[in-house]
Amino acid sequence: MPPKVLCWSCEKEWEMGSQPVVCSACGKVQKVAPNISPYVVFGYDNPSFNLDAEELETRWLKRSRRCHPDRYAMRDAAERRYAVEQMAATNDAYKLLSNDISRGAFLIEQKGWPTEIFPPEEFLMDMMEAQESAHDAGANKVSLQTDFEGRFAKDREILGEVLDAGTGTPEEAAGALTRLRYFQRVLDALKGQAPEV
């Protein structure tokens, strides 16, 4: 049986695996549960790497409207503070879950696995060259971006298989996550370039 949490005002119980914004009995804004999982914030029953981005955004928007501090501006100081904390927890959870790399790292850490490995020298040299090309005005950036988006998608799929389907090893998960970090740096560098005139 999951542990219970009490409403700070009326002492109504709810399960630890949920995080209501307001108490269903007394309507008071609730404290954010300590060490709450970002998945619990949005009501996911099972932590999964492969999340539907639109569904996550819908859950975020719904919860944001529900806990926005402006809704509780006329409440007492404690409830206003709890609303700010609820909003912060909501935004932090969304930021983590909406990013493949941070979501993967979170799930790997939850398993107690390493989140990083030292890549082979050949891979590091390839990444250095890609970074230089991303900053080189004469480079074929479209081709480079397509290549790195493909690499990112492949390792994202590997990470999803290891984390969600349970196929693979902790080392494979750490390797995929490490490569995703490098690929994202190259993609960010490509997107950060000023348009050529």
**Residue 18 within any structural domain of the chain:** no
The CA distance from 148 to 139, in Å, is 14
In this predicted structure, what is the pLDDT of residue 195?
A: 36
Same domain? For 87 and 117 the reply is no
Same domain? For 83 and 127 the reply is no
Same domain? For 36 and 81 the reply is yes
**Residue 42 within any structural domain of the chain:** yes
Please state the domain count of the chain.
Answer: 2
In this predicted structure, what is the pLDDT of residue 197?
A: 34
Same domain? For 140 and 79 the reply is no
Same domain? For 117 and 176 the reply is yes
In this predicted structure, what is the pLDDT of residue 34?
A: 83
The CA distance from 68 to 87, in Å, is 6
**Residue 106 within any structural domain of the chain:** no
In the structure, how many helices (H) and strands (E) does the chain have?
Answer: 7, 2
**Residue 21 within any structural domain of the chain:** no
In this predicted structure, what is the pLDDT of residue 3?
A: 59
**Residue 4 within any structural domain of the chain:** no
Same domain? For 68 and 127 the reply is no
**Residue 7 within any structural domain of the chain:** no
3-state helix, strand and coil shares in percent for the chain, rounded to the nearest 5? 60, 5, 35
Same domain? For 89 and 157 the reply is no
Task: List per-residue pLDDT tens for the chain, 197 residues long.
Answer: 455 778 889 998 876 556 788 888 899 999 998 888 999 999 998 999 999 999 999 999 999 999 999 999 999 999 999 999 999 999 999 999 999 999 999 999 999 999 999 999 999 999 999 999 988 866 688 899 999 999 999 999 999 999 999 999 999 999 999 999 999 999 999 988 443 33
CATH of residue 48's domain is 1.10.287.110
Residue 148, domain extent: 112-191
**Residue 16 within any structural domain of the chain:** no
Same domain? For 118 and 93 the reply is no
pTM comes to: 0.88
